[in-house]
Structure 1
Amino acid sequence: MSTSTSEAFAEKLKKRKTDGMISAWIGIPDPLLANFFAQEPFDAVVIDLQHGMWDIASAATAIGQVRLAGKPAVARIPVGDFASASRLLDAGASGIIAPMINSASDAEQFVKATKYLPLGERSWGPALALNYNGLSPDAYLKSANQLTVTIAMVETRAALEAIDEILAVDGIDGIFIGPSDLSIALSDGAALAPNSAEIDRVMAQALERCQHHGKFICAFGSDGVRAGQLLKLGFHFVIAGGDSAQLRAGARAAITTARETAAGGSTKQA
């Protein structure tokens, strides 16, 4: 991935100069799968280390596959694993998504790991990132905070109550709504309803707060229809379903088509 592509990705999100990006979401820990998804017209590829089965080594390889395909790679870290955030940026990730950011204090700790001084305390060691960007060490140090995005997940009651404080933290570039966990939180564990009217209402309120703070907003959509609804609402970066769901949906569609075609009559020549 060229420096210009990396700059364009971060700039579009930070300045909200986009009609909406659609990203792949990969949990199956195979870098070659990330390569295949990167060949499709996604705007980015997210490597999910929270619920996916990735380790740092395989995730770093996947980031390389995505970036060499000319796409930005974003990584979601496990809860509170800010040390991995730094390592994944060193591996060439263009952004980090952190789950369960519930307070300004959480957000500040996240920024410390993902931004160099004066915003944070990220330690130096971006060997792979330098390879992909083609920048000198000095140039990377001066531009890395602008070339990467730090995205806090809002998915609990506490995070909703603290959303203004989270968005006000310097170095938090945007937020990511996790509708499944948010629906569980808002129902006190009674329901998994990520596409409910209540979640739509909360998302609209979160979008308004992001607009107020000049930050971008992202969310997970369970499929293409839901992703389109979120884009129509004004979200800047959305997921159109995860890898396993998309693979299974594609398999079911192919099987159904084959059965329907066969039932329609033989196409064999006499």
Structure 2
Amino acid sequence: MMGKPTLAARLRAGDSIYSGWIATPEPLIAETAARQAFDCVCVDMQHGLHDPVSVMRSIGGIVHAGKPAGVRVPVGDFAMASRALDMGAEAVIAPMINSVADARALVAATKYPSLGERSWGPARALSLQGIPDAATQLATANDATLAFAMVETKQALDLLDEILAVEGIDGVFMGPSDLSLTLSGGKEVAPAADWMDEPIRRIAARARAHGKIACAFGADPVRARYFTDVGYHFVALGPDAIYLASGIRTMLEGLR
């Protein structure tokens, strides 16, 4: 991947990135998605079925298809955040970052000293990304890899500016389903409700004010376009089960 703009560079330049979202732990699915028009492909360990081995293999398929890979790690699994980067991911998405301490723990796991505490061992990343030596990795990795803190609770929303101010947090990833669940006091999951518009726009605006990247998950193209229109530069579209069902439906409708 050396010589190509990194995912981080494209986002910091203001590009709109649309990412695939793969929950099924089959590397060929991730690779197939990466061979489509997505700008990036993420694999999901939190609500998806991936384990470390399927993540490692999926990242390889994504990168060999010419796209950057992202990984959403399980809640609180900062060790996996480090491993995902060592495996060659360019972005880590950490769910349920509800405090400044959580944000700092994410930075510690994903950035090398002196910014963070990430330990050394990126052999697979060096190979996949064509990084020639350790010195280049140390000089570039903190800028070239992304730590995204998921803001998806009322507590995180209340601390949004403090989380965004943590050095080493590259952006926030808005989880609309969980955010609607907590803002409604557990009464409903309503990611596209009208009353969600204000917090959605606020997150994008505050990220922009801090010079950070606003990210979101869109369940369909209409919602994904809405997020882009209100200031989100990284939008995931999926998951893969929807791709499969939609493709089957389109083919069967063509028969009839």
Normalising by structure 1, what TM-score? Answer: 0.92
Of residues 147, 151, 154, the one that matches 2:151 is 154
Structure 2 distance, partners of 1:210, 1:225, is 22
The answer to whether the 8 Å contact 1:92/1:132 transfers is yes
Query: Does residue 207 in structure 1 map to residue 204 in structure 2?
Result: yes
d(CA) in 2 for partners of 1:208, 1:237? 14
| TM superposition score normalised by structure 2 | 0.97
Structure 1 equivalent of residue 138 of structure 2: 141
Q: State the 1:201 CA deviation.
A: 1.3
Instruction: Show the counterpart of 1:45.
Output: 41
SS in 1 for 2:161: helix
Q: Deviations 1:84-136 (Å, cap 9, x if unpaired)? A: 01011000000100000011110000000000011100000001001012221
Aligned partner of 1:264 in structure 2 is: none
**Paired letter, 1:247:** L
The alpha-carbon deviation at position 142 of structure 1 amounts to: 1.5
User: In structure 1, how many angstroms separate the alpha carbons of the residues matched to 2:87 and 2:135?
Assistant: 17
2:123 to 113, 116, 127: 127
Gaps of 5+ in 1: 260-270
Superposed CA offset, 1:173-212 (max 9, x none): 0000000001110111111111111222111011111111
Q: Secondary structure at the match of 2:114?
A: coil
Partner of 2:8: 10
What amino acid does structure 2 have at the position aligned with 1:125? G
User: What pairs up with 1:140-219 in 2 under 5 angstroms?
Assistant: 140-219=137-216
Report whether the alignment pairs 1:58 with 2:79.
Answer: no
Q: How far 1:16 moved relative to its partner?
A: 4.5
Contact 1:23 / 1:238 at 8 angstroms: preserved in 2?
yes
Q: Deviations over 1:29-61 (max 9, x none)?
A: 000001100000100000101111111011101
**Stretch moving more, 77-86 or 196-205:** 196-205
Q: Distance in 2 between matches of 1:232 and 1:9?
A: 20
For residues 116-168 of structure 1, give each alpha carbon's deviation from its aligned partner in whole angstroms, at most 9, with x where no partner exists. Answer: 01110000000100101222111111111011000000000000000000000
Give the stretch that moved more between structures: 136-145 or 35-44: 136-145
> Which secondary structure does the structure 2 equivalent of 1:4 belong to?
coil
Distance 1:133 1:58 in 2: 19
Supply the AA of the counterpart residue of 1:154.
Answer: V
Structure 1 segments of 4 or more deviating over 2 A?
Answer: none
Q: How many residues align?
A: 255
Map of 1:229 onto structure 2:
226
**Please, what is the CA RMSD of the aligned residues?**
1.0
Larger radius of gyration: 1
1:3 aligned counterpart, secondary structure: coil
Distance 1:119 1:105 in 2: 15
Q: 1:238 aligns with which of 211, 226, 235?
A: 235
Q: Quick check: 1:16–1:216 contact (8 Å CA) kept in 2?
A: no
Q: Which runs of 5+ in 2 are unaligned?
A: none
